[in-house]
Structure 1
Amino acid sequence: MEIHKAGVRPTRQGRKEYFTGTVWQDPVIEAPAPARVMALRVAFAPGARTAWHTHPLGQTLHVLSGVGLVGRRGEAPQVIRPGDTVWIPPGEEHWHGAGPDTAMVHLAIQEGLDGQFADWLEKVSDDDYLRAAQ
């Protein structure tokens, strides 16, 4: 058993090549093999978002606070709110982040396959991001 005390592991800023805007990540868990789970608490400033990406074994998002958006390739983004949980199947191209005028914090949970948790693609265009949300 391992206990990770709050405030011991540093918050890190999201890498510029994978995010637009200001994003902060706090590790929750990256379990050692044979387990494959990784979870992060991710805080997005208004307008901040991920780049397009996929996950080899899918991803679960659970919104903790604020109002955000999640989009999949070819569709208008969906609004997500506190308490909402989103399942993204393996290989589905998607993005997620805060609304244009609201911050959002979510828990991101994914499993790695051969040590790979995500495949990063191009950044989300302003047109895709600002498309009328459903």
Structure 2
Amino acid sequence: MHVEPVQPTVKNPPEQFAGDVWVDMIAVPHERDQRMSVAIVKFAPGARTAWHSHARGQYLRVTQGIARFGTRDGEIIEVHAGQTLYTPPGQDHWHAAADGCFMEHIAMLESGDDPATTTVWKEHITDAEYDGQVTA
């Protein structure tokens, strides 16, 4: 048993995020058979991910602000602090901070059988996709 070393906050890359987004890793696998990764991700107002999917799905627990999540079929969900969103394996989605507020969430996911498929990054979302009407 040991206390994990503190990792520095990292700004996420512009190839995968639009706007200012920072990540603090909480947990990463140590052993070959471990799969879980956990991170705190902080979004500036209006900042967003590109389209992406996860081989084994993802849980996102909003801890501050209002998050917006979108899917390829045009569904947009707003999630508030204290709520958790689940995206199933392989589902293309994006997440973002709502305009006018910072948003923070805890991201929890498992590595894919092939680590290259854990998260598959795609194109950036458009302003129209981000600005879409909340459907749920």
* TM-score for both structures, normalised by structure 2: 0.93
Instruction: Please list, as runs of the form range in 1=range in 2, the aligned pairs for 1:68-79 lying within 5 A after superposition.
Output: 68-79=67-78
Which secondary structure state, in structure 1, belongs to the residue aligned with residue 129 of structure 2?
Answer: helix
Which secondary structure state, in structure 2, belongs to the residue aligned with residue 3 of structure 1?
Answer: coil
For the pair 1:128 / 2:126, whether they are aligned, the reply is: no
Moved over 4 A (4+): none
Which secondary structure state, in structure 1, belongs to the residue aligned with residue 101 of structure 2?
Answer: coil
**Where does residue 92 of structure 2 map in the other structure?**
93
Q: 1:12 aligns with which of 10, 13, 18?
A: 10
| Contact 1:48 1:98 (C-alpha < 8 Å) held by counterparts | yes
5+ long unaligned stretches in structure 2 = none
5+ long unaligned stretches in structure 1 = none
Q: Give the CA deviation at 1:132.
A: 1.4
**Where does residue 24 of structure 2 map in the other structure?**
26
* TM-score for both structures, normalised by structure 1: 0.94
Aligned residue pairs total 132
**Where does residue 107 of structure 2 map in the other structure?**
108
Q: Give the CA deviation at 1:97.
A: 1.3
% identity of equivalent residues? 36
